[in-house]
Amino acid sequence: MLDQIALLAAVTLLGVLEQAYFSLQVIYARRKYKVSPPGTAGPPEFERVFRAQVNCSEYFPIFLSVLWVAGLFFQQAVAAVCGLLYLYARYRYFQGYTLSAQGRLAPMYFSAKVLWILIGLATVGLLIHFLPLNSFVRTMEMPSQLQLLFSWQSWNTGHSLRLLQYPACSRRASGTGTTATRNAALANV
């Protein structure tokens, strides 16, 4: 069980450590530029550090949510790699923003793309989990040769596409098979 979530847990811990690092940078900037809490206004250098930390914190819950959903329902290793890319992009974003407002743009765009990829992976994983794919393939309107050749087979560990061993396939391709024959064969899958 723990092997199935170990990579996700490691990326989560790295993300939490990164957030702590960003918070410490704000504390150091407050001391350096003499901006006492709860104030957030100060020299532009301080405000950039402060905004970089706040921006990263705003996206962190979204990142964690889609990281775990993608890892649990799609594939752990792919989600973990995307998570590492996201954390690296956010680190580059923070470093770039502290130097100049323009320095944040490229890492911001990259981290947004990685976040959208994670959202896509999470969505696909949940669709695979919740949709009854056997009945979906049976009711889909697709060319009969493809419908006869492929069917989704649900296994305990996920879903995989397998080739049907259906002798009427050649009759259907030649035009002699019937819809009733096809439906009977699909019902036995």
In the chain, the amino acid numbered 72 is L
Q: Which of 5, 119, 126 is nearest to 62 (CA)?
A: 119
Per the annotation, the verdict on 31 as an active-site residue is: yes
Give the C-alpha separation, 152 to 83, whole Å: 30
**Nearest to residue 177, comparing CAs of 129, 130, 145, 151?**
145
Residue type at 37?
P
Per DSSP, 48 falls in state H
162 is catalytic: no
Using an 8 Å Cβ cutoff, are 189 and 153 in contact? Answer: yes
User: Exposure pattern of 22-47 as b/e (b: 16+ CB <10 Å)?
Assistant: beebbeebbeeeebeeeeeebeeebb
Say how far apart CA 178 and CA 169 lie, in whole Å: 10
Question: Among 90, 104, 172, 182, which one carries the catalytic annotation?
Answer: 104
Q: Which residues are catalytic?
A: 31, 104
